[in-house]
A and B are shown apart, each in its own frame.
Chain A
C-alpha cells in the first residue's frame, strides 16, 4: 500500500512568498512538499522516513494524513506524469533505503509532488489556469480541490504515477512491398501500429526507403521494426548531417568537406609546427593543445525542438547532454566550463500560436520558454559543478515557433592517459559492451529523427526528457577522475541522439562488429518494445568498451561510486550489428550498410538577393537625424539585444572550480562582457578564452556577409579580453530553416563559403560543429490562420583558444579619470540589418563587410599591446555600434565619458553603424605614444577622455549630439529585464 508524507513549513517559506508575488490575487500561499512512497513500510519506519525528509528547524510533517495547514480556499497539487524523471523522488528513495536499510524492488519507488494551498477568491477554472502556468501538461499533472472537497475527502488523496504499459513487448516485421506513397508515409510518419496509429517520424525520404527495401529484398526477408528504426536513427540528418554531406550544385564533395573541413586542413598545413589542433571533427568534441601536458576540448550543441515543448527539460537535457561530449572525448575529458546562447522571441509577446487547427495544441509562450530554458541550464550547469561564464541572449520574433538553445562544454584532459595518447581510443574485438548511468524508459524516443523535421501537429510528446545532473555527476566523476587513469576501458562514447542504436553501432566501427543482448538493458519500467529500448534517448548514459580482464575491477569501482553498470553484449569483428531479444535474433545488419548505405543526396540551390527599403527613401531617418539622439541612444541601450542580462549571469554559477579569470560581468557596473577567460589548470598561468559571435539579422540581406561577421565577431570578442588570434580555434553551429527549399540551401552555401574564406585568412581552424536544419514551426495563429514561422538563418561561431599569461587579460570597464578613449578600426555607413535599423523598423541593405587581412593585423597588434599592459580597458563593438559601446564602457566603469567623433557620416550612422573589427579602448595618457606607435599604419582614432564625474557626452565634429549621465544610461541598460 502506498503512503504519503506531507512536509509543511513552520517558518516563512521564500518559495511561497515568490509565488504569492507572482499572483497578486492570492491573499496567502502555503506550500506542502509531498513524498508518495510506493512501498509497504511500518508506521514506525514511515515516521523515521519523515524525520529524515523534513528539516526539524523549519519544517514539520505528517504521515498518511493531511498535514496541519493554515486556512485556505483551494488546494492545487502538481506532480509528474508516469514515467517522467523525478530526481527528488529518486533521492528520497535513496534516503529511505539508506536510513532503514531496506531495498526498493523494481516497481517500488518514491514520487514527489507539491501542493499549493491558496487563500483568495478564485473559481476552479482560475485555479486550474494558475496550475497550467506553473506546470507543463506534457510532463506534469494538475489536481485541484476546493477546501470543502479537501475536508470531505480527508486531504488530497494518494496518486501513484506508476507506469503501466499494458502490452506485451514484441518485434514486428515491416512490409516494405508497398506503393511509393505508402513507403514515403512510413518514412515521414513512422511504422504503422496495429490500430493504425503511427509510431513517430523516421525522417527517411523516399530514396532512403527504397534503398532499404532493396537491401532487404536482396537478403530475401523483411526488415524488423528495430532494424528500420535503427537505420532511421543512424541515417538521420541529426547523426549524418546529410545536407552538409550532400553534393550541392558544382560542389560534389558537399559543403562540409569542401568549405569547413578543407579550411581546417589547409590552416593546419600552413601553421606547420605551430598547428595546435589535436583532434578535429572525428570525436564527440574538438581538441586543441593547452600546454605540453594538457588538451582542452570544446563542443557546442543545440537542443531546439525539445526546448520548444518542455523548456526546462529540453534545456537541462541539452546542457547535461553536451557535458557528455566532453566526458566522451578521447578517453574522457573533465568538463571545466559551460557556455550558452539563447535565441528567443520577445517574452512580452502574448499572442498565442497553436500546433493544431481550431486553437488546439497551444504552444508555450515566449516568456515560458525563456524562463524554462534559463531554469534548465541553471539547474543542469549548477548541479554538475561546471562553471557557466560565457553566454548571450538574442531576440527576434522569428524564434517564436522554435527557440534556439545553444549549449556548449569545454573539457580538460591530460595528453597521456596510462602512457598512451588520450585522444585516441579503439574498442577491441572481445571487449564487453558496458553501459553506465541511468536506466532506459520511453523518454526521448525519436529525438534524433524528430529534430530532423519541422515541428507540426504530429510532433511526438515523448521526445521530451528531463536530465538528472546528479546521476551524471556520479558517472562523470567515476570515469574522468578515477576509471580513466586506472586504464579500465578501451573506448567510451556518449549515449545521445539515437541512444544505444547509435553509440554501440558507432563504437562497433572501431573493432568491426557488435552483439547485443537487449534483455540485459536495465529499464525504468517493464513493457518497452525492443525497438524502443534500442533507440530510447534516456539520459545520463555512457557506453564503454571494457576488456574482459578489467571487467570485475570496473564494475566494482562503479558499484562503490553508486553508478549502475550493465554488460549488454560483446564487441567483435563479425562485420555485423546483431541484436538478440528473448533468445531471438531481431536485428542482423551489415555494419557497412548501416553506416554507409545511405543514398547520396544531390542538391541544387538558388539564391535570390532581395532589395529592402532604405529609411532614406522615406522621411523616417531624416526625422531621427534631427531628432534627439540622446533619446535614441537611451532607447538603443534598452533593447533586449543590447540590455543587461545580468539576472542570468548571477544565477549561473561561474566561479566553481576556482578557475575564473574574466567572468561574465565586468567592472563595478557589472556589464555583460563579450568573452570569458578561465584557468582550468590551477598550477598554470595559462588561460582559455571563450567567446561567441552571431548576427542573424544580416541573413535577411546576405548570408555570406552574415557568416563573415559572425566569425569576425567571435574572434574580435576573444581578442577584446586578451585572446591570441594565432591560437584560436572556432566551432560552427548552423541553425537553418526549411532546408528542403532551394533558396534556403543557396543561403546556406554562401554562408559556408564565407566560413572557408574567413577562417583561412584568419588562420582559425574549425575543430567541431553541429547543425540543425529544420527550425520551422507549422501551425496556426489565434485566428485559425495557417502560419509558418522559420528562424532567420542563424550561424553561431564559438571560439576558444589558449592565452599564455592570464594576468594580461583586460576587462571592458573604464578605469581611471583622464584616460584616453580610442576607437580602433574604421566606421563605415553599414547600418543594414543593424539593431538601429530594426529599431526604426527597417532592414536596409548596407550590411557590414569584413576586411579580414586588415583585421588580422589589428588583432595581432591588440594582443601585443595587451601583453605590454598598454590597454586599460577594451570593448568589442557589436550590436548598437559605437553609441552603445561607449555607454557600456561608461556604465561598466561607473565613470562618464567625453567623446568627440570626427566623421563625415550622418550622426546616426556614426553612432549605430555595425561595421566590424572595431574596439573602444581606454589607455593611460602616459602610454599615448607607445600605444600609437604600436598601431602605426592601422586605423585608430583618438575619440575622447574618461571623466571624473558621471557626465556622458558625445559630440560630432565639435557639435553636441548626445548628453546624458552614467546613472541614466545604467537605468536604460537594465530596463529590458528589470523584473526578472
Chain B
C-alpha cells in the first residue's frame, strides 16, 4: 500500500544530500526524523552529540543538520537550554561555519527550542548565537499533545515551498513563542515568520485555545533565519508522514470509498522534508 521506492528511483542521478540527525541526552524523535529524510531521498545518519564533541564525527560532512524532537536533558532549566549550552560550549565554531555555507538546518519541537536557545533563529544580520526568542510554558501550563493546522505564506523559507497548510500534531509543554516587540516586528517585516496556527477553515487562531495550542504570540508556530534556510518549528510534520497517521483518516478514507476519490499515500508533513532534500538536487 505504501511505496517507498518511487522517489528513490527518481533521485538516483542527483547528488543525495547527507543529513545529520542529532541525538543524545533525551532527544527521542531521531528515528522517524531519519526515516522521513530517507523517504525524501536523502542519506540520513543519526549522530550522538558526544560524537561531534569528541571529534568522531564532523558537521562539515553533512548538508542538512536536523534537530529532532524530544526531551533533551528532561527540559530541566528550560527546554533546549542544556543541549544548546553543550553545543555552544563545545562545537560552536563548527556550527557557525555550517551556517555560513549554503546548507540547511531544521529544528522540530525540542529541536526548535534548542536552536532558539542556540540563537540560530532569528539570526538577524547573520548574527547567529544571540538569544532573542524564547519558548515559554504553554498558556495552559500543561503538556499539550493535539492535532493542529499550520499555514504559511513565507516566500523566503526553503522548507515550505509550494506548501499552504499542513495538519500535524503538536506535542510539547513549552511551545509558547515569545520575543520582545521589536524582534517580533523585525521577524514580520523580513518574512521570518514561517507558520501560524489556523483553524480547520484556514482562519487565524487569534490566540484562541486549542486552535493555538500554547498561547504563542501572533499564533506563531515556526520562524526562520534571514536566509530562509534555518527553520525552527514547534509542531511535528514528521509525525504526519503517513496518511494513516492523521487523526481523521478514518473519515477521509470512508469519504474516498463512497466518492470514488483516491487516497493519498503520504501524510501532509512529507512535503516539507522533500523541499529540504530537493534544495540540493536542482
Contacts and interface: CB of A to CB of B under 8 A. Distances in A.
A685 B255 CA distance: 21
A56 B236 CA distance: 26
A650 B1 CA distance: 30
Interface in B20-47: 23-29, 31-32, 35-36
A576 B180 CA distance: 67
A57 B244 contact: no
B131 to A, nearest CB: 5
Interface stretch (A390-398, A805-813, A964-972): A805-813
A667 interface: yes
Contacts of B131: 55-57
Interface string A639-658: 00000000001111111111
From B131, B238, B253, residue with most partner A Cβ within 10 Å: B253
B28 A658 contact: no
A91 B76 contact: yes
B245 A658 contact: yes
A679 B244 contact: yes
B54 to A, nearest CB: 7
Contact of A55 (B81, B145, B173, B180): B81
Contacts of B31: 657, 682
B4 A683 contact: yes
B248 A14 contact: no
A663 B169 CA distance: 12
A523 interface: no
A15 B138 CA distance: 9
A99 B85 contact: yes
B250 A809 contact: yes
A58 interface: yes
A232 B143 CA distance: 41
Interface stretch (A237-245, A468-476, A768-776, A827-835): A468-476
B171 A653 contact: yes
Interface residues of B, number: 73
A650 B147 CA distance: 10
A561 B48 CA distance: 8
A94 interface: yes
A98 B85 contact: yes
B276 interface: no
B210 to A, nearest CB: 8
Contact of A469 (B74, B86, B248, B257): B74
B250 A810 contact: yes
Contacts of B32: 657-659, 682
A661 interface: yes
Contact of B171 (A655, A683, A926): A655
B50 A560 contact: yes
Interface residues of A, number: 73
B215 A14 contact: yes
Residue from A656, A661, A685 whose CB has the most chain B CB atoms within 10 Å: A656
A382 interface: yes
B156 interface: no
Given A94-B73, A650-B146, A384 B28 contact: yes
Contacts of A459: none
B239 A656 contact: yes
Nearest to A649: B145
Nearest to A53: B77
A470 B74 contact: yes
Given A14-B215, A18-B141, A88-B77, A470 B26 contact: yes
A378 B138 CA distance: 15
Interface in B48-67: 48, 50-51, 54
B251 A560 contact: no
A11 interface: yes
Contacts of B258: 816, 924, 926
A378 B35 CA distance: 26
B178 A658 contact: no
Nearest to A812: B250
A660 interface: yes
A872 B143 contact: no
A32 interface: no
Contacts of A87: 74, 76
A13 B136 CA distance: 8
B113 to A, nearest CB: 10
Contacts of B2: 685
B25 A470 contact: yes
A385 interface: yes
Contacts of B254: 815-816, 872, 924
A17 interface: yes
A473 B180 CA distance: 35
Contacts of B143: 378, 382, 651-653
A487 B45 CA distance: 21
A55 B117 CA distance: 8
A383 interface: yes
A806 B246 CA distance: 13
B132 interface: yes
B1 A469 contact: no
Interface in A559-599: 560-562
B176 A14 contact: yes
Nearest to B180: A57
Contacts of B244: 661, 679, 806-807, 809
Nearest to B137: A14
B133 A57 contact: yes
A385 B71 CA distance: 8
A610 to B, nearest CB: 44
A767 B139 CA distance: 43
A869 interface: yes
Contacts of A260: none
B179 interface: yes
Interface in A928-955: none
Given A57-B133, A469-B71, A663-B247, A658 B238 contact: yes
A202 to B, nearest CB: 36
Contacts of B11: none
Interface in A50-101: 52-53, 55-58, 87-88, 90-92, 94-95, 98-99
Nearest to A378: B143
B74 A385 contact: no
B89 interface: yes
A649 B25 CA distance: 26
A41 B136 CA distance: 30
Contacts of B90: 98
Which of A14, A92, A668 has the most chain B CB atoms closer than 10 A to its own CB?
A14
A594 B258 CA distance: 66
Interface string A16-55: 0110000000000000000000000000000000001101
Contacts of A816: 254, 258
B226 interface: no
Given A95-B82, A477-B23, A382 B178 contact: no
A382 B70 CA distance: 8
Nearest to B247: A663
Residue among A385, A806, A809 with most chain B CB within 10 A? A385
Contacts of A869: 257
A324 B29 CA distance: 19
A648 to B, nearest CB: 10
Given A56-B131, A651-B144, A810-B250, A560 B71 contact: no
B204 interface: no
Given A15-B137, A813-B251, A562 B74 contact: no
A560 B76 contact: no
Nearest to B35: A682
20 contacts: A11-B136, A14-B137, A14-B138, A56-B131, A57-B133, A88-B76, A91-B76, A92-B77, A383-B74, A470-B76, A474-B24, A650-B145, A650-B146, A651-B142, A656-B69, A658-B242, A665-B247, A668-B251, A682-B32, A872-B254
Given A98-B89, A473-B71, A816-B254, 10 more contacts: A382-B71, A382-B173, A469-B26, A562-B50, A651-B142, A656-B29, A805-B1, A807-B1, A816-B258, A924-B254
Q: A-B pairs with the 8 shortest C-beta distances? A: A385-B28, A658-B32, A91-B76, A57-B134, A18-B141, A88-B76, A811-B250, A14-B137
